[in-house]
Amino acid sequence: MKKITFVVIIFMIFTTHSSQIGIHTSNPQASFHIDGAKDNVGTGIPTLAQQSNDAVITSLGRAGLGTLTPTEKLDLFSGNARIREINSNIGIAGTDRVVVADSEGILKTIGFGAYSLFHARLSVDQTISNVSVATLIFANPLTTSSLYSYNTGNGVLTFNQAGNYLITLQASFANISEGEQLVLGIRPFPDANYLGRGSHYAGFGTPTVDANSRIGELMSYTTMIIVPTPGYQIRFTVTATGVSSVILSDEIGPTGSGNVTNVTIQKI
């Protein structure tokens, strides 16, 4: 009798360590397999519909919800994940990162600024003639990402991803007369009608650029554009009704000096 008991115990230990464990299923497909709805087939691989209510843990330590073959430590076939108390955890600006999903649904982190922001400044003054639509030529971007590429030769910006983009243009006009119209614009490339356009009239006593003064008429314009496809191209334009106006790269005045003509783009 003792010999039989010993053999049974050895058999149970061997079975536990070498087999798969199934709950609500006699046909487990992983080291630990729960069939939530008890609807799996007795033999073979359950259908996708049958797997949708299953949970597994594989021999590699991967957990799958709705899938029997998880490829990550936690793999959800479909549906949403929820953390009920996440709003009590406040992020830290400058160190925390943004969570994004790639084309396969795998979660990753990426620096927010590197992910979305483009910023460039005008490197030298630009002179424009009466009512002509001139392209602003910015210097190499101070901030950019894989979403954008900018040609400093012709001023054309290429979007590498479709989506909605918030664009802010700022320029300082000099050598203009009172009442002149100043225009900042965004146009597609090759050229067509404005995608966005802002304008205002120069106020009374507008200063001109000379050897002793670099203070212009500052204009700022913000809009959103919809980029339909990767590879879509635009250019940033400027117009003034004066005979010969100057777009200042920087201003020097009693309150300090610095760049005044620039562009900032952010994917939203």
Q: What do you get for the CA distance between the two ends of the chain, in Å?
A: 75
Strands 63-65 and 74-76: parallel
Reported as type and span, the H/E element at residue 48 is helix 48-51
Per the model's pLDDT, the better-predicted residue between 202 and 71 turns out to be 71
Q: Do 240 and 115 touch, CB atoms closer than 8 A?
A: no
Q: Which of 105-119, 165-179, 228-242 has the lowest mean pLDDT?
A: 105-119
- The domain segmentation of the chain, as residue ranges, is 2-81, 116-267
pLDDT band with cut points at 50, 70 and 90 for residue 210: low
What is the Cα–Cα distance from 155 to 235, expressed in whole angstroms?
A: 6
Overall average pLDDT of the 47-76 stretch: 96
Q: Do 13 and 25 touch, CB atoms closer than 8 A?
A: no
Q: Write down the H helix ranges in 66-148.
A: 112-116
Overall average pLDDT of the 9-13 stretch: 45
pLDDT value of residue 207: 73
Evaluate if residue 112 carries a pLDDT over 70: no
Per the model's pLDDT, the better-predicted residue between 69 and 16 turns out to be 69
Distances (CA, A) of 152 to 137, 140, 200, 243: 6, 7, 27, 26
Average pLDDT of the chain is: 87
pLDDT value of residue 224: 96
Evaluate if residue 154 carries a pLDDT over 80: yes
Percent of the chain residues past pLDDT 90, beyond the cut = 60
pLDDT band with cut points at 50, 70 and 90 for residue 114: low
What CA dihedral angle connects 187, 191, 193 and 195, to 10 degrees?
Answer: -20
pLDDT value of residue 17: 44
What is the Cα–Cα distance from 68 to 58, expressed in whole angstroms?
A: 8
Q: What is the pLDDT of residues 215-258, one digit of tens each?
A: 888 999 999 999 999 999 999 999 998 778 899 999 887 777 88
- Amino acid code (one letter) for 131: V
Overall average pLDDT of the 110-129 stretch: 82
**Into which CATH architecture does domain 116-267 fall?**
Sandwich (2.60)
Overall average pLDDT of the 109-125 stretch: 81
